Amino acid sequence: MKKSEKVQNIKQIIWFNLFIGIYNLYMFNELNSIFHLVLGSMNIGVWVFCREKYLNLSLATLLKGKKIKQK
Domain ranges of the chain: 3-70
- Say if CB 39 and CB 24 are below 8 A apart: yes
Integer Cα distance of 23 and 29 in angstroms: 10
Q: In the prediction, which pLDDT does 71 show?
A: 53
Per-residue pLDDT tens digits for 6-51: 999 999 999 999 999 999 999 999 999 999 999 999 999 999 999 8
- Say if CB 10 and CB 54 are below 8 A apart: yes
For residue 20, how many C-alpha atoms fall within 13 Å in the half-sphere facing its CB?
13
Residue 1: which pLDDT band, with cuts at 50, 70 and 90?
A: confident
